[in-house]
Amino acid sequence: MGTQIILGNTYHLHIRPGLDIINAAGGLHQFINWPHPILTDSGGFQVFSLAKIRKIKPHGVEFRSHLDGSLLFLGPKEAMEIQRALGSDIAMVFDDCPPHTSAPREMRAAVERTIRWAGECREQPRAAGQKVFGIVQGAATPRCARNARSNWSRLILMVMPSAASVLVNQSPK
């Protein structure tokens, strides 16, 4: 097939099979027998997709496990710690991924949270050679997207010169 990179989901891998099992195998590459790059999503997409079983807090998100209802907190520190333990080649910063139908006020709040959380992510240790990519939220509102890109660009230039931005959450149009 020629696949050169695959995606691992931090939230789901953390819940099942869990870090103990993956670490016992020698990390995510060995666990899945994949010699090529792996990008891990921070779990931020679950802020959107599991909206019915989560509560957004200033420093992260409380989830109720979709498997057993147990409480799980995921924030910038936890997301980066899990991605470091997984040993992915590219880790994504933890973000708040709002629906593209969000009101402008909600979109601005998500953009501001994502930028703040990105700053917290940059302070966390990384696996050897691990790159950190940022996420630009607010694409459904051009003004929010410009603000996000502007703030994110400053954050990258100040601290994360090897990072890149990924634009997500655009409307299907």
Per-residue pLDDT of the chain (173 residues; tens, 9 = 90+): 899 999 999 999 999 999 999 999 999 999 999 999 999 999 999 999 999 999 999 999 999 998 999 999 999 999 999 999 999 999 999 999 888 888 888 888 888 898 899 889 988 999 999 999 887 765 566 666 666 666 666 565 333 433 444 444 455 55
Nearest to 166 by CA among 62, 40, 81: 40
In this structure, are residues 134 and 160 in contact, taking their beta carbons and an 8 Å threshold? yes
**pLDDT value for 29:** 98
**pLDDT value for 161:** 34
**pLDDT value for 40:** 96
In angstroms, rounded to a whole number, what is the distance separating the alpha carbons of residues 120 and 114?
10
In angstroms, rounded to a whole number, what is the distance separating the alpha carbons of residues 43 and 133?
13
**pLDDT value for 33:** 97
CB within 8 Å of 143: residues ≥ 6 apart? none
For the chain, the 3-state helix, strand and coil shares in percent, each to the nearest 5, are: 45, 20, 40
